[in-house]
Amino acid sequence: MAWMAKKVVKPGNEEERKRRLSKILRRLNIDYPHVECALRHDSAWELLVATILSAQCTDVRVNMVTPALFERYPTIDAMAAAPVEEIEELVKTTGFFRNKAKSLKGAAQKIVSEFGGAVPSTLDELLALPGVARKTANVVLGSWFRKATGVVVDTHVQRISRRLDLTGQTDPKKIEQDLMAALPRRRWILYSHQIIHHGRRVCIARKPKCGECRLNDLCYADDKLG
């Protein structure tokens, strides 16, 4: 179905904004009802590793790299004891591989020494690990532990949330605060997954498929295409 591109008048009061947001969330549910994290993983540790590697790298590339990495170092203890040069070689194609290898080894060592060999399940504890910032912590907490402690703000979420006028910020931390204030807490995890999938399939950065977008009539972007 084609959705006509047109300028949209922004709602003037809080009730209108709430109704518009409800429409956005309902339509996302229609197109992406059961989406989950695109990073392949079978444990909290594998998801943590994959998310650290995903910085400035596509999920597709990360999913190509992690099988060999986990085959070589199948446990947290094995990663903690691994020569950092060997980790570098295995993650080289993800970019920034020296920093990422250092973070993986450091995170594994800290988990072994301070958390009994198990990935911690609180925001503060995760943020204490090398290579882990809010985005990574939110991914692990939301996708593995099912804890809605925040909203994952990747490049898709940042770009599309601004196009939908759910935030006017450019800093990911401030965008997350706006989204946490606007969205029902029960939608914090799912919203990010849905927007990420939408950004890959429809609202593509270089050439958005506005004519195919179910959110077209709710979008305020100046560069909408027919």
Q: Among the options 100, 105, 110, 135, which is catalytic?
A: 135
Among 85, 91, 89, 83, smallest CA distance to 56 is for 91
CA dist., res. 215 & res. 220, Å (int)? 10
pLDDT in tens, the chain (226 residues): 444 444 455 656 788 889 999 999 999 999 999 999 999 999 999 999 999 999 999 999 999 999 999 999 999 999 999 999 999 999 999 999 999 999 999 999 999 999 999 999 999 999 999 999 999 999 999 999 999 999 999 999 999 999 999 999 999 999 999 999 999 999 999 999 999 999 999 999 999 999 999 999 999 888 876 5
Instruction: Tell me the pTM.
Output: 0.90
CA dist., res. 59 & res. 154, Å (int)? 12
Our answer to whether residue 217 is catalytic in this structure is: no
How many C-beta atoms surround the C-beta of residue 19 within 10 A? 10
Looking at this protein, which amino acid is placed at residue 145? Answer: F
**CATH 1.10.1670.10 is right for the domain spanning 14-34+151-218:** yes
Q: Among the options 31, 154, 165, 178, which is catalytic?
A: 154
Among 201, 211, 222, 184, smallest CA distance to 24 is for 184
| Domains of the chain, residue spans | 14-34+151-218, 44-143
Our answer to whether residue 77 is catalytic in this structure is: no
Determine the 3-state secondary structure of 146 from DSSP.
coil
In this structure, are residues 140 and 118 in contact, taking their beta carbons and an 8 Å threshold? no
CATH number of this structure's domain 44-143, picked from the four choices 3.40.50.2300, 3.20.20.70, 1.10.340.30, 2.60.40.10: 1.10.340.30
